[in-house]
Amino acid sequence: MDPYGGPAGRRVLAALDGYVSSQWWANQGYAVVIADGRGTPGRDPAWDHSIHLDKGDAALADQIVALHAAAEAFPDLDLRRVGIRGWSYGGYLSALAVLRRPDVFHVAVAGAPVTDVYLYDTHYQERFLGHPAEHADVYDRGSLIADAPNLSRPLMLIHGLADDNVLPAHTLRLSAALVAAGRPHTVLPLPAASHMPTDTNVVANLFALQAEFLARALCPPGG
């Protein structure tokens, strides 16, 4: 699964340049599924408003629906070996997937994820989740920190240390909670990178490291 899944962007587009990285993963032998769930733009107001007070669970549920629909259409897909990777909102969704639905997702790579929605830009969050003083339960449910003890699948967290959009504190907080809970995980810091790495060598090596991590989890020797 290769989602973005957030209200700010679509992935399912008639644009070849939108699938360069996904094609790279397909070239490594993976079946790549990209789905735009509830709340992603370009459909209608009801679709947009359906994630009001719930940006996480609805988006995750729609990724699972898409996964099962793909498996029905292509029965050779192996639902015992499902990985999910994404960046920014897609990173949040990927971490959410292995924390809350390890029965479906077996490994995740989460790049620049929002892990504590209280920490993200108010002008963005309050459009969808309301004011935190009025909807603290919504903010708590949308955050990942409390889910740390539930991690039972391999998780790689990647974050640019110069990220001024999703601050590195998001990954550090989740990692700290995972360590406190005794849950093993991988953290890959990118010292000179902002929200989206642009150095070509860093990007190329980053893909190679992710591929090694995913293969180790999904295709173990003798597995």
The neighbouring-strand residues paired with 111 are 87, 158
- What is the pLDDT at residue 122? 87
144 neighbors 116 (Cβ within 8 angstroms): yes
Tell me whether residue 8 is in a domain. no
- What is the pLDDT at residue 222? 61
The crossing angle, in degrees rounded to 10, of helices 57-73 and 89-100 is 80
Tell me whether residue 102 is in a domain. yes
- What is the pLDDT at residue 8? 79
Catalytic residues: 88, 163, 195
Q: Give the whole-angstrom CA distance, residue 190 versus residue 36.
A: 28
- What is the pLDDT at residue 158? 98
- Its domain, for residue 86, covers 16-215
Tell me whether residue 43 is in a domain. yes
What strands, in cross-sheet order, belong to the sheet with 107-111? 83-87, 107-111, 155-160, 186-190
Tell me whether residue 82 is in a domain. yes
Tell me whether residue 223 is in a domain. no
- What is the pLDDT at residue 131? 95
Tell me whether residue 88 is in a domain. yes
Tell me whether residue 167 is in a domain. yes
- What is the pLDDT at residue 18? 84
Report, as ranges of residue numbers, the positions in the chain whose pLDDT lies below 50: none
Tell me whether residue 221 is in a domain. no
State how many domains the chain has: 1
Q: What is the CATH number of the domain that holds 120?
A: 3.40.50.1820
- What is the pLDDT at residue 207? 95
